[in-house]
Amino acid sequence: MNRLNGIVLPKKKSAANLETAAIEIPELVRIPMLMHQGTPCTPVVQPGDTVKVGQLIGSADAEDAVPIHASVSGTVSAISQYQIGRDSVPCIEIEPDGMQILSETCQPPLLKKREDLIAAAKNAGCVGLGGSGKPTHLKLAASSGFDMLILNGAECETDLSSDMRMMLEHGEDIVSGAEMIMKLMKIKETRISILSNQTEIIRHMMDLCEGKKGISICPLPVQYPQGAEKVAVYHTCGRLITEKQTAADVGVLLLNVSTCAFLYQYSQSGMPLVERVVTVSGDCVEHPCNLRVPVGTPAKVLLEYASCSFSALSELYRGGRMMGACLESSEEPILRQQNGLTAVRKQKKTTPSTCIRCGQCMRACPMHLMPMELEHAYRVQNIRMLQKYHVSLCLNCGSCSYVCPAKRPLCETNQLAIALLPKE
């Protein structure tokens, strides 16, 4: 099978061998009403209300919204605003009482058919846990004719190891989740994709899958990116997703391993998505770690746990270093789709120089785009040329910027170029 272009990142998973730890309940959690791709939720609690763990606090009125639940028990202290780009959404601040009283509304759902699973995924507040935050119920509902389930455990980003830990520590939940989804969605085959150099995890998952009909492990080439839908599907089962299609159009249901494990845990306990595993790493933290934290915990609490030297802290990323977005302050909350928190020291500033047409960006692009030509088309604001060269296919994976010897911001330019395109 052909493989797409990609890059080889330095192996820097400092927390890969560390057991997931839990942290103490923080003094304040802030839960924004937008922690998914779609429409924000509406707060259904008032300041002064008492809430319990798992209680609904943000209701999803739109079809593409996912409800939000309280991650701690305590009192709602305020409803403030949370800035996302230029927009701001309401943000519920809860002062925990430390008791972690479970809400009595959390009951295991009755899962009999496909529609039950879709409804359960929505009620559970389930989003893509690999960082995308795509509503899972929309993915499940996208097609009625899925014939393959792909569980993505590649986690090829630098630094991050939350999915790896999930597979090692809760592998049986992933396999049971796969069986549950296969049964309800009438899917016959499941492939769990793992980077081929993660031999320990592959062996562990193979042991768990033994005797399970239809579930197999698919080792992927050790390169970046692997998580993007088109790349993951192509590398795992060889199906080609064309420009306007999604994985559902080729009959593939693609979920992150952590999402699958969560769906199974929800089917057993009825506890919605209120906590998650986050990898804290970067050269600014002394003890990189994998932490299980309530959603909405300030980043600062995690950094303190990992002994971060705050005086040296220069940049803080939500996610890994390849695709992570910068945080404006360490007070910002951990979101439910966030798989990593990377704290780095001041980096040497790189000044871009002229392109020498070495073609490395072109050989790195998994979508076979030509970033240097897209950059030129953007500079002259030629929208027709941008469309002709399919800039909209850019995954924002950052491979082109990573390899560029002239240190040009190619990936950033692609995103700016996409913003230029007329809306469909």
d(CA 210, CA 333): 40
Q: By C-beta, is 22 or 356 nearer to another protein?
A: 356
Nearer to another protein, 75 or 245 (CB): 245
Structure tokens given for 218: 């698919």
**302 φψ region: left (φ > 0), alpha (ψ -120 to 50), beta (else):** alpha
CB of 288 to another protein, least distance (A): 16
The stretch near another protein (CB under 8 A) out of 41-49, 199-207, 328-336, 378-386 is 328-336
In the β-sheet with 289-294, what is the strand arrangement from edge to edge? 21-22, 289-294, 275-281, 340-345, 313-318, 325-326
- What's the CA gap between 338 and 319, in Å, rounded? 6
The nearer residue to another protein, 9 or 295, going by C-beta atoms, is 9
Q: Contact region for another protein (CB under 8 A) — 39-47, 181-189, 260-268, 315-323?
A: 315-323
Q: Which of 23, 68, 175, 241 binds another protein (CB under 8 A)?
A: 241
Nearer to another protein, 357 or 423 (CB): 357
CB atoms within 10 A of CB 108: 12
- 54, 69 in Cβ contact below 8 A? yes
Site for another protein in 80-99 (CB under 8 A): none
Residue 314 beta carbon to another protein: minimum distance, rounded to whole angstroms: 5
User: Considering CB under 8 A, how many residues would be counted as binding another protein?
Assistant: 72
Determine if 22 is a binding residue for another protein (CB under 8 A): no
Length of the chain: 424
* Residue 133 CA to its chain's centroid (Å): 6
Closest alpha carbon to 159 in 309, 341, 297, 325: 341
378 binds another protein (CB under 8 A): no
- Report the residue from 46, 48, 104, 326 that binds another protein according to the rule CB under 8 A: 326
Q: Which residue of 313, 383, 385, 418 would you call a contact of another protein, by CB under 8 A?
A: 313
Q: State the chain's maximal CA–CA distance in angstroms.
A: 64
Do 32 and 335 contact (CB within 8 A), yes or no? Answer: yes
Are 346 and 316 in contact by the 8 Å Cβ rule? The answer is no
CB nearer to another protein: pick between 378 and 389: 389
Of the candidates 315, 382, 383, 387, which one interacts with another protein according to CB under 8 A? 315
Q: Report 380-409 residues binding another protein (CB under 8 A).
A: 389-390, 393, 396, 398, 401-407, 409
State which residue, 157 or 163, has the beta carbon closest to another protein. 157
Q: Rounded to an integer, what distance in angstroms lies between the CA atom of residue 354 and that of residue 252?
A: 42
Residue 108 in contact with another protein, rule: CB under 8 A: no
Give the integer Cα–Cα distance in Å for 131 and 124. 17
Residues numbered 242-271 forming contacts with another protein, rule: CB under 8 A: 242-245, 248-251
- Under the binding rule (CB under 8 A), the answer on residue 368 touching another protein is yes
Q: Is 423 in the site for another protein (CB under 8 A)?
A: no
* Interacting span for another protein (CB under 8 A) from 4-12, 85-93, 123-131, 258-266: 4-12
Burial class (CB in 10 A: 0-12, 13-18, 19+), 109: middle
Q: Please identify, using beta-carbon distances, which residue of 199 and 353 lies nearer to another protein.
A: 353
- Do 69 and 29 touch, CB atoms closer than 8 A? no
Please count the other Cβ atoms lying within 10 Å of the Cβ belonging to residue 418.
16
Ramachandran quadrant class, 379 (left: phi over 0; alpha: psi -120 to 50; beta: rest): alpha
- Restricting to residues 154-183, name those near another protein by CB under 8 A: 158
1 binds another protein (CB under 8 A): no
Q: Which one of 79-87, 124-132, 206-214, 351-359 is the stretch in contact with another protein (CB under 8 A)?
A: 351-359
Indicate which single residue of 257, 321, 335, 417 sits in contact with another protein (rule: CB under 8 A). Answer: 321
- List strands edge to edge, sheet with 42-43: 42-43, 56-59, 68-69
Looking at beta carbons only, is 190 or 330 nearer to another protein? 330
| Residues 178-217 within binding reach of another protein (CB under 8 A) | none
Q: Outline where 321-379 has alpha helix (H).
A: 360-364, 371-379
